[in-house]
Amino acid sequence: MHRAWISFVRTGDPNHPDLPPWRPYDKGARATMRFDAVVTALDDAAGSARLPHERVPHERVRTSAQPSAPLI
């Protein structure tokens, strides 16, 4: 993990020869690296926990940057 951080700081890319290929993160694949006894590249590692939450309908939340409706 330390070498991945050093490589990322130096080059903007965490990949190095002792690491499995780590693709850039995107919302489709959600590439993740698991640093454990065996280092593994995974796609959508938390998918089983995330998917039920994505199915819940939600209303758009207004942020402070969005104008509010006039109070008339």
Closest CA relative to residue 30, chosen from 8, 4, 48: 48
The model's pLDDT over 9-51, given as tens digits with 9 standing for 90+, comes to: 999 999 999 999 988 888 888 888 889 898 989 887 777 776 6
- 14-20: long-range contacts, CB 8 A cutoff, minimum separation 24: none
Residue that wins the pLDDT comparison between 14 and 62: 14
Hey, what are 34's tokens?
Answer: 């698991």
Going through 1-72 in order, the beta strands assigned E by DSSP cover 31-34, 40-43
Position 29 scores a pLDDT of 83
Name the residue with tokens 């995107």. Answer: 26
Position 28 scores a pLDDT of 80
Question: What's the CA gap between 17 and 42, in Å, rounded?
Answer: 18
Among 30-34, 54-58, 66-70, the least confident range: 66-70
